[in-house]
Amino acid sequence: MTRNHRALLLLSLAALYTGATAAGAAARPRGVGPEFAKFYKDSSTFTCISNPSITIAYSAVNDDYCDCPDGSDEPGTSACSFISNFSPSFISDPGDEKSNRTPALPGFYCKNKGHKPSYVPFQRVNDGVCDYDLCCDGSDEWAHPGGIKCENKCKEIGKEWRKKEESKQKSLNAAMKKRRDLVQAASKLKKETEDRVKDLEVEVKASKIKVRELEKEVEKVFARDRGKIVKGKKQGKVNVLAGLARDRVEELRTSLVDVRFQKEQLETRLTELEGLLSKFKDEYNPNFNDEGVKRAVRSWEDYVAKDHSDMAPPHQDLDELTKPDGPDSGINWEQWENEQDESGMSLIYKVAAYLPPSLVNYMEDKLAEFRSLLISNGILAEPDTDSNETQAVREARDRLSAAESSLSTLESSLAEHKEDLGKDFGKDSVFLALKGSCISKDSGEYNYELCWMDRTTQKSKKGRGDTVMGNFDKVSSVTIDEATASGRIVPKEKVALEYINGQKCWNGPSRSTKIILECGENDEILKVAEDEKCVYSMYVTTPAVCESSNDKKASGGRDEL
């Protein structure tokens, strides 16, 4: 068809279908959305929207021939559909010369009365298919190619859509309520953590003071008592002698135990032999004139007749003798070794009997200080501190180490709480409220578990143990291409959670998981994918990332639920 023929045909159709009018202020031409009406006001000429240097006759608008480089002269036909794919993101700034080969219009405008207006891609205008998903009034097929008639279905489609929208809105409202609760819980937790940090800081301070005091106490008690133990068990000739005697007695006791054992064994054998010989004497036949046998029997009778009283067991009780020394038996060496001389500290106790206790304590301390001074200056020998620590020093040390361990517990708890406060828990710290709770999904060979802000786990159903797929690292975002209702693919930014440093993959990296979040009424894992070896994606819904319509407008987002 030539340009003239097509123009003629379309002009006649235009008269029937209220296309462009010829006189006065032009009505909005077919396919023009209200936001673009201003470009089509002049009823004699038309200026291409993105190319203001090009002006054409108004009659060339919607004449099924593409005059403008931005396609703005054909808002109601598919004549300019070759310019580019339909996408509202391609709408250029009207009047911008540089964008002259991008379409100026988002598509063919369907009024869709009874439903909501929408743009249909120019390629689909008069293509012989009713595009009810975008153009429920059927106006995209206004030329009825091949005799097609797309009846207006906006009433029913609109009704159905509103029903769905209503339930979506309900769900979104419920999700938003949950999110508000989460945000409230998170802020409470944050406040509690802040309060706890303040308390812990005070507790740590106090605990440090206590530790310092106890360190001083240990030093003091040690200094006081090292004077007392100068005369400890390893000092002096008597104690050395006592030590030697103790070793010697121990040696003799061990030999005695051995000898006693051997003796008991020999006694057993002797009894056995005597039994054999006695049986032999009773059972031998004296009628056999065997001189050897008769001699043996006589010797046995002599042996029996002999007095064996000198073989009687020793008078002392060997059991008693072989018992180890200690406070209840034998010699109490400890007592001997720790015995103080009649000098030094012991003297003061004798004097002390005549003095009031406060003075005794004072004198004791002074004497200990004096001893300590002598030791520090090398006048007295340093006591053996390893084994000679007094009970008081040991107790002071125990108190110190208990205080030190309590300080270290407090310090690590403080560090943990501070780390939590410094972490990013997403917008409004909402994920703080989810921390610690887990959700899971049965998928193929495994059950997958997501523990919020903690870890992701792959749990074998065949009893092969659990595999950590990552530990929470940070909140981030990810851009995912998504198809809209009309089939358009649009990039969409989503909140994501990064879990890293999971179990090492055989011949591969440490496992990691990206949690891609979508607004939903409930926390639910929709899908788990292993994008490459040991690199996983989890698609999860949660109210935590829901945004109200106002939020969405502010962030340029679109409906999710």
Quick one: angle between helices 345-352 and 357-376, nearest 10? 170
Beta carbon of residue 404, minimum distance to ligand MAN (angstroms, whole number): 43
Beta carbon of residue 505, minimum distance to ligand MAN (angstroms, whole number): 5
| Residues forming beta bridges with residue 530, ordered by sequence position | 536
Q: Please, are residues 372 and 227 in contact by the beta-carbon 8 Å criterion?
A: yes
Beta carbon of residue 534, minimum distance to ligand MAN (angstroms, whole number): 5
97-100, long-range: CB < 8 A, 24+ apart: 97/50, 97/51, 97/52, 97/53, 99/50, 99/70, 100/50, 100/51, 100/69, 100/70
Token pair 């995209």: residue: 140
513 binds ligand MAN (CB under 6 A): no
| Contacting range for ligand MAN; rule: CB under 6 A; set: 76-84, 295-303, 426-434, 526-534 | 526-534
| Contacting range for ligand MAN; rule: CB under 6 A; set: 121-129, 344-352, 415-423, 527-535 | 527-535
Q: Please, are residues 491 and 479 in contact by the beta-carbon 8 Å criterion?
A: yes
Nearest residue (CB) to ligand MAN, 223 versus 535: 535
| Contacting range for ligand MAN; rule: CB under 6 A; set: 54-62, 433-441, 485-493, 528-536 | 528-536
Beta carbon of residue 494, minimum distance to ligand MAN (angstroms, whole number): 23
Beta carbon of residue 537, minimum distance to ligand MAN (angstroms, whole number): 12
Nearest residue (CB) to ligand MAN, 198 versus 504: 504
| Contacting range for ligand MAN; rule: CB under 6 A; set: 4-12, 367-375, 407-415, 529-537 | 529-537
Q: Which of 318, 324, 281, 273 is nearest to 299 (CA)?
A: 281
Q: How crowded is residue 362: how many other Cβ atoms within 10 Å of its Cβ?
A: 12
Nearest residue (CB) to ligand MAN, 60 versus 516: 516
Task: In whole angstroms, give the CA distance from residue 535 to residue 489.
Answer: 25
Longest C-alpha distance within the chain, in Å? 170
Nearest residue (CB) to ligand MAN, 208 versus 459: 459
Beta carbon of residue 448, minimum distance to ligand MAN (angstroms, whole number): 10
Beta carbon of residue 446, minimum distance to ligand MAN (angstroms, whole number): 8
Out of 101, 163, 164, 533, the residue judged to bind ligand MAN by CB under 6 A = 533
Question: Any residues with CB less than 8 A from the CB of 124 and at least 6 apart, and which?
Answer: 78, 108, 131, 134, 140
Question: Any residues with CB less than 8 A from the CB of 549 and at least 6 apart, and which?
Answer: none
Q: Please, are residues 400 and 210 in contact by the beta-carbon 8 Å criterion?
A: no
Task: In whole angstroms, give the CA distance from residue 262 to residue 373.
Answer: 58
Cα dihedral 158, 160, 164, 166 sign: positive
530 binds ligand MAN (CB under 6 A): yes
Beta carbon of residue 508, minimum distance to ligand MAN (angstroms, whole number): 6
Beta carbon of residue 527, minimum distance to ligand MAN (angstroms, whole number): 15
Quick one: angle between helices 291-305 and 237-283, nearest 10? 130
Near ligand MAN in 449-508, by CB under 6 A: 458, 467, 505-506
Nearest residue (CB) to ligand MAN, 193 versus 443: 443
Q: Which helix (H) or strand (E) holds 68?
A: none
Near ligand MAN in 285-314, by CB under 6 A: none
Nearest residue (CB) to ligand MAN, 527 versus 533: 533
Burial of 419 (0-12, 13-18, 19+ CB in 10 A): exposed
Q: Please, are residues 184 and 430 in contact by the beta-carbon 8 Å criterion?
A: no
Token pair 């002009």: residue: 11
Nearest residue (CB) to ligand MAN, 235 versus 467: 467
Nearest residue (CB) to ligand MAN, 459 versus 492: 459
The tokens for 344 are 């030094």
The residue nearest ligand MAN at its CB is: 506
- How many residues sit in the footprint of ligand MAN (CB under 6 A)? 7
The tokens for 291 are 């001189």
Nearest residue (CB) to ligand MAN, 226 versus 511: 511
Q: Which residues bind ligand MAN (CB under 6 A)?
A: 458, 467, 505-506, 530, 533-534
